[in-house]
Amino acid sequence: MSTGQPEAHDAVDVIRTKRDGGEVPEEALRWMIDAYTRGYVADSQMAAFAMAVLLNGMTRTEIRVMTDAMIASGERMSFSGLGKPTVDKHSTGGVGDKITLPLAPLVASFGVAVPQLSGRGLGHTGGTLDKLESIPGWTASLSNEELHEQLRDVGAVICAAGSGLAPADKKLYALRDVTGTVEAIPLIASSIMSKKIAEGTDSLVLDVKFGSGAFMQDIDRARELARTMVELGTDSGVATTALLTDMNTPLGLAIGNANEVRESVEVLAGGGPADVVELTVALAREMLTLAGQPDADIEAALRDGRAMDSWRAMIRAQDGDPDAALPTPHETHVVTAGEAGHVTRMDALPFGIAAWRLGAGRARAEDSVVHSAGIDLHVKPGDRVAAGQPLFTLLGHDESRFQRALAALEGAWAIGQDAPEATSLVRERIID
Q: Are 143 and 374 in contact (CB under 8 A)?
A: no
Choosing from 195, 285, 371, 401, which is the catalytic residue? 195
Choosing from 68, 169, 207, 275, which is the catalytic residue? 169
Nearest Cα residue to 426 out of 264, 218, 277, 262: 277
For residue 226, what are the CA distances in angstroms to 70, 207, 274, 287, 362? 19, 8, 25, 16, 27
Choosing from 90, 148, 196, 371, which is the catalytic residue? 90
Q: What is the 3-state secondary structure (H, E, C) of 317-363?
A: HCCCCCCCCCCCCCEEEEEECCCCEEEEEECHHHHHHHHHHHHHCCC
Choosing from 134, 191, 203, 310, which is the catalytic residue? 191
How are beta strands 331-336 and 203-210 bridged, if at all? unpaired
What is the number of other CB atoms lying within 10 angstroms of the CB of residue 368? 9
d(CA 419, CA 357): 30
Q: How far apart are the first and last CA of the chain?
A: 40
CB neighbours of 168 closer than 8 A, spacing ≥ 6? 33, 34, 36, 37, 69, 70, 73, 74, 194
Any catalytic annotation for residue 176? Answer: yes
- The DSSP symbol for 11 reads H
Residue type, 421: E
Choosing from 176, 227, 312, 371, which is the catalytic residue? 176
Q: Are 361 and 339 in contact (CB under 8 A)?
A: no
Any catalytic annotation for residue 191? Answer: yes
d(CA 319, CA 261): 16
Catalytic (active-site) positions:
90, 169, 176, 191, 195
